[in-house]
Structure 1
Amino acid sequence: MKILITGRNGQLGSELYDLKEAYPHHQMVFVDREEMDLSNPEQIIEVLTVEKPEIIISAGAYTAVDKAESDQELCDAVNHIAVKTIGAWAADNNAKVIHISTDYVFDGTSETPLKETDAPDPINVYGLTKLHGEQALRASGANHVIIRTAWVYSTYGANFVKTMMRLMNEREEIGVVADQIGTPTYARDLAQAIMQIIEAPEFVQGVYHYSNEGKISWHDFAMAVKELNGFSTKVNAIGSNAFPTPAKRPNFSLLDKSKIKEVYQVAVPDWKDSLKEMLAKL
């Protein structure tokens, strides 16, 4: 099967690229901004028409959450219009789309793990554009799977784990937000889940949630990074109001993974096991 993956140089795209050798029966074509600029609908159509993929993994996105507040037009072009364009092409050409979305489509006020059926209500521009992308893909008529994920990290790219390691190397004391709750997602695990969906006997379309198992705060996550690396840095628990950012963050991002486990038999590793695995690779 021919699979086209956007966001080649992102965390998820890089992990999917690493898995390529394990799936020699698929022809996997990777594109990044240079080959397919997601802010350019004409170029998207052009590349898809030349490549003619049977499956499109829509992993590329505008993910600079704070910058999005002042860069709304580009953020919307990449996270919404590009997805709409991909969906329209896929519907016309009988291709399937696996699109990666985010916990940021929710407002973060829930107290129970978020289900796919819960009503989205984004509190920042990034979340709103990602929601508009989801809605456009559903409306396109393309056969699709939308995977909402959260707190993504990897050995590739910039992410929380790498930032914590750098700060703990440089400083004796740091403060990390303790009132935002969720679970991290090791991009490698998400990449494997996506390939499992592609390999499944039946492509069951709809929205799915995926992150690693567990329930922690960013402070808990930082403490695990400290402990597993043997740092002596003091890690203080702070409230999110002590660390104001241009974009509001959801306070609760815990995703319910029951549906993806049931429909696609995806095994979801515990967050700490995945963190250990990532640090060992690093």
Structure 2
Amino acid sequence: MVRSVVLVTGAEGQLGTALRATFKAHAFLVPRFYSKAMLDITDAAQIESCIKADRVQYIINCAAYTHVALAEQAAANCFKVNSIGAGYLAALAAKYRIVLLHISTDYVFGATKGRPLKPNDSTDPWNQYGRSKLAGEQLIATRAPSFYIIRTAWLYGEKGDNFFTKMVALAQKESTIHVVDDQIGTPTYVYDLATAIWEIIENMANKTHYPSGIYHYTNEGVASWYDFAYAILTALPHRCSVAPCASSLAHLTRPYYSVLSKASFREVFQMKIPHWRHSLSICLKRWQDALP
């Protein structure tokens, strides 16, 4: 069987790290993990050089500018990575007949619809980060003949810089933490997403055909940030309480209701998605097991 090379960009980030950790030995899949220092996706010549050297068949693009607040003052740099860089990957994927799997975000949506958001719902991002990610999606859809855009949200894990690790850190020095209770979505355990991505790639390498397009993946269920924080903090050994507050006080600019509908993902890829509370229990156990 011919071995397929999978190029993973942004390999030092949260999802890239999880992809490395969840990859299982395959006779026909060979991953190549590239950090930002190793591969700058805003340099088309550098991308092409990697593609030719490794004879790449699949690209998983985890590289992104993700500093949402800073993006308001650094829009040019944000768009360079999230839009122009994504466009380069798409154009080269078309040139070399590569399957491109690209990670996007719930920030592409704007005003709440009061129901789970579908991949074909209208988009109207409220900030520069969301606009840059939407522009990247549009370039991919017009340039890459075989693409899978996966929008996700509220990524977390027991390591790295994310909501879970921030709550754990704050619990060790605060008696009470204030968390917004009027923004609704779904926490996504990064290792669940990484595992799902590998299953998609593996199935495609085994000649399973999936229609190109935009899909949504988060864990199942619904929560506010307060709900998520409460579930974390009440499971920790530290004595710390959580109190609700309004998002207007936290100066947050994201959709108030950004629950993503996974119906098309489940139907097309035929995967069972874990509930966020189940996955959080796994994350907490892994965190506890790693304590000295």
Q: Same fold (TM over 0.5)?
A: yes
What is the CA distance between 1:184 and its match in structure 2?
0.7
Corresponding residue number in structure 1 for 2:277: 272
Q: Following superposition of structure 1 onto structure 2, how do residues 55-74 of structure 1 map, counting pairs within 5 Å? A: 55-74=58-77
Question: In the alignment, which of 55, 58, 75 is matched to residue 52 of structure 1?
Answer: 55
The number of aligned residues is 280
Corresponding residue number in structure 2 for 1:207: 214
CA offsets, 1:139-175, max 9 Å, x none? Answer: 1033000000000012332000000111111101110
Q: How far apart, in 2, do the equivalents of 1:24 and 1:168 lie?
A: 44
What is the CA distance between 1:231 and its match in structure 2?
3.5
The 3-state SS of whatever aligns with 2:56 is coil
Letter in 1 for 2:225: W
Corresponding residue number in structure 2 for 1:184: 187
Corresponding residue number in structure 2 for 1:164: 167
8 Å Cα contact 2:5/2:58 also seen in 1: yes
The 3-state SS of whatever aligns with 1:98 is strand
Q: How far apart, in 1, do the equivalents of 2:52 and 2:95 lie?
A: 11
Deviates more, 1:264-273 or 1:199-208: 199-208
Check 1:40–1:156 CA distance in 2 against 1; reply closer, same or farther (3 A cut). Answer: farther
Deviates more, 1:195-204 or 1:172-181: 195-204
Deviates more, 1:35-44 or 1:110-119: 35-44
Structure-1-length-normalised TM-score: 0.96
What is the CA distance between 1:182 and its match in structure 2?
0.3
Q: How far apart, in 1, do the equivalents of 2:286 and 2:26 lie?
A: 21
The 3-state SS of whatever aligns with 1:46 is helix
What is the CA distance between 1:232 and its match in structure 2?
2.5
Corresponding residue number in structure 1 for 2:22: 19
User: Percent identity between the aligned chains?
Assistant: 39
What is the CA distance between 1:243 and its match in structure 2?
1.1
> Where does the alignment leave 5 or more consecutive residues of structure 2 unmatched?
288-292
Corresponding residue number in structure 2 for 1:30: 33
8 Å Cα contact 2:41/2:89 also seen in 1: no
CA offsets, 1:189-209, max 9 Å, x none? Answer: 001111121122213211100
What is the CA distance between 1:52 and its match in structure 2?
2.4
Question: In the alignment, which of 94, 106, 109 is matched to residue 106 of structure 1?
Answer: 109
